[in-house]
Each structure stands twice: as C-alpha cells, then as structure tokens.
Amino acid sequence: MCHPLMITSVKTDIEELPNIPAFKLSVTVKLNGQTGVEMEALTGVSIGLLTIYDMLKAIDKGMVIQNIQLEHKSGGHSGDFHREETS
C-alpha cells in the first residue's frame, strides 16, 4: 500500500451463512516478490464487507463487521503463519 507491488492474483470468495445470518468474505492475494501482502488482503476484506453493509443497510443498519483477521500467510521475510482453529 505504501510501495509498488507486482501482485499476480487476487481471489475473493463470499459465503452466505444463513443460520447466523451473516456473510464470510475471504481475500487471497499473491505476488512474486519478497514482501508480504497481508495488508492488501485485509484491506480487500474490509472494503468488501463495507460494500455489503452499504448494499444491505436499508434492511438492517444494526449489522456488525467483526473478526477481520489474517488466516494464513506463506513466504516473505517473516515466514509462514497459520491461525490455530479454536472451538
């Protein structure tokens, strides 16, 4: 976000969770380089969820955006990261 990146792909997945009701949004960013793109992926999720809020605010202004978090990262200077699942 503060320096040019050679991003090779961005994949966005949205899953409806009707029992809650909620949506789960995942963004995967890849690049060929030696820097991470966690901030780009987290920004993508944030903007995507804000877009969903904007489209649905006429139905429910009380929606909550929560649990934006890094799930997995591989490569880069700091190495791999995998979030432990909690039950």
**Between β-strands 81-82 and 22-31, what pairing exists: parallel, antiparallel or unpaired?**
unpaired
80: annotated active-site residue: no
Angstrom CA distances, 22 to 6, 39, 59, 80, stand at: 33, 23, 13, 29
Identified catalytic residue from 13, 54, 60, 80: 54
Q: Tell me the C-alpha distance between 8 and 31, whole Å.
A: 5
Q: Do 61 and 47 form a contact (C-beta atoms < 8 A)?
A: no
Active site residues: 54
